[in-house]
Amino acid sequence: MLNLHPESYRWKDYLENSENDLERLFVASAIGMALLDEDGCFLSANEVFCRTLGFSAEELLNMKCGHLLNTVNQGTRDGSLRLHEKSQHLSWRTEQVLLRKDRSQMPARVWISSLKGTPLHDSLSLMIIEDITEQRDAEFELSRRKIEIETLASQLIQSQETERKRLARELHDDIAQRLSLVASEVALMASQSSIEKAAAPNRLDHLREELDSLCTDIHEISHDLHSYKLQHLGLKSALKDLCRRFTQPNFQVRLDIDDMDEPASKEVSLCLYRVVQEALNNALRHAHAFVVAVTITSLRGVFYMSIQDTGVGFVRSAKPQGLGLISMTERLRLVRGELKLNSILGRGTEIWVSIPDMRDNFEIAGTNQIVGDSSCSIERSEVA
């Protein structure tokens, strides 16, 4: 059994070995450590401690630990490191904002451990600091992304409700009214005599034209909701049909697709199709463009697309982010795509998109869409 008599050889040897072990741990430690006296003055600090705060060991010898406090936190119970002088506990821990030598603020986790009652030094304390700047930044970024996701979800729900109201108005105010008129006309003709029916061929021609027009309009609404050509004929045919339907005498859409293979992923095809659809809608309704050029190519398993218009353009600071850009950004996020946008006031807008073609792209992105990089950069402006 170890003899702890103060005058014994083993006791002196134990003290000497303990101090040597403490010194080796103190110097070689990968975390910042410092020794404080009973007044909170620095007696020694290792290299990591000095490097973290920017002070030299000599500068710290003329300081107290309270000098490292951010003035905003001084005087608060959790903020004052000088509590260790009056603390009855052997150790305590807190999170504190410290001031570096250059006066910059550093969020830190701080431990104060009293060496009282040990065979080493009964009037010293050990101070350990850990820089948690990256942790705080990560927490802030996670919180920001959660807010973005909540905002995006709210805006998408609002957009869906707006679209449903628009469709309801079109069906009620246009389609339903026109069908009602056709039905009334048919009922009127059915109530007439054979002689009156034979004398009204023009009315039958009018009804036939109106029914043809109704079929066309219903087909257009259905196509906007879901592209059957995309599903059955592929991306190239669907985009050609989309650009053809958008083309008007004062709005020309030029499509250039090289001799590329169809995307292996259906989600990639749908994403490219919807981005073109949204961009053409913006160019027609908001940019007042006369010509839009859509170019798509693929290289080494990546699809590249640019959409350029000759519209009015805009300055980013003058226009808030619209649901069109939010929708495109979210679609690209799901397939790990990248979007860049440039717009110059009076000279038009260009959208650039790249998407890797992977069969499991959607499943992979779906598991990482919250913590992963959205890979969407907006340069100088945003679309409506």
Mean pLDDT of 179-194: 74
Rounded-to-integer distance, Cα 375 and Cα 332, Å: 8
**Rounded CA separation 153/298 (Å):** 32
Winning range, highest mean pLDDT, from 135-149, 175-189, 359-373: 135-149
Distance CA(183)–CA(73), nearest Å, equals 78
Token pair recorded at residue 306: 């640019």
pLDDT score, position 197 = 60
The residue type of 84 is H
| Sign of the dihedral defined by the CA atoms of residues 244, 250, 256, 257, in that order | negative
pTM of the model: 0.48
Q: Which of 383, 159, 223 is closest to 292 using CA atoms? A: 383
* pLDDT, greater one: 197 or 233: 233
Residue 206, token pair as written in the block: 């009018």
pLDDT tens string 135-167: 999 988 888 888 877 777 777 767 666 777 777
Residue 268: closest CA among 192, 354, 160: 354
Q: What distance in Å separates the CA atoms of residue 28 and residue 246, rounded to the nearest whole number? A: 70
Q: Phi/psi of residue 235, each to 5°? A: -65, -45
pLDDT score for 92: 80
Structural tokens at position 351 = 């959208």
CATH superfamily of 9-131: PAS domain (3.30.450.20)
User: Which CATH fold topology does 233-384 show?
Assistant: Heat Shock Protein 90 (3.30.565)
pLDDT, average across residues 28-53: 88
Q: What is the pLDDT of residues 218-242, one digit of tens each?
A: 767 766 666 667 877 889 988 998 8
d(CA 243, CA 277): 9
Distance, CA of 314 to CA of 349 (rounded, Å): 8
Minimal CA–CA distance to 291: which of 328, 256, 342? 256
Token duo for residue 95:
């999170």
Is residue 131 a contact partner of residue 96, using CB atoms and an 8 Å limit? no
Using a pLDDT cut of 70, give the percent of the chain over it: 71
Among 123-127, 217-221, 337-341, the minimum mean pLDDT is found in: 217-221
Structure tokens at 69: 């406090």
Question: Does residue 12 carry a pLDDT above 70?
Answer: no
Position 55 confidence tier, pLDDT thresholds 50, 70, 90:
very high
Torsion of CA 79, 81, 86, 90, to 10 degrees: 110
Average pLDDT over residues 254-272: 89
What is the pLDDT of the chain when averaged over all its residues? 76
Nearest CA to 308 among 285, 335, 290?
290
CA distances 64 to 69, 82, 115, Å, are 10, 9, 18
Question: Are the C-beta atoms of residues 242 and 255 closer than 8 Å to each other?
Answer: no
Beta strand 252-257 pairing with 291-299: parallel
Q: Where are the domains of the chain?
A: 9-131, 134-225, 233-384
Count CB neighbours of 235 within 10 A. 24
Q: Which is more confidently placed, 382 or 94?
A: 94
**Mean pLDDT value across residues 200-221:** 75
For residues 297 and 27, what is the distance between their CA atoms, to the nearest angstrom?
59
What tokens were used for 122?
């009964």
Report the alpha-carbon distance of residue 99 to residue 64 in Å, rounded. Answer: 13
Q: Which residues contact 314 (CB under 8 A, 6 or more apart)?
A: 343, 345, 349, 381
Q: Are 113 and 107 in contact (CB under 8 A)?
A: no
Identical topology for domains 9-131 and 233-384: no
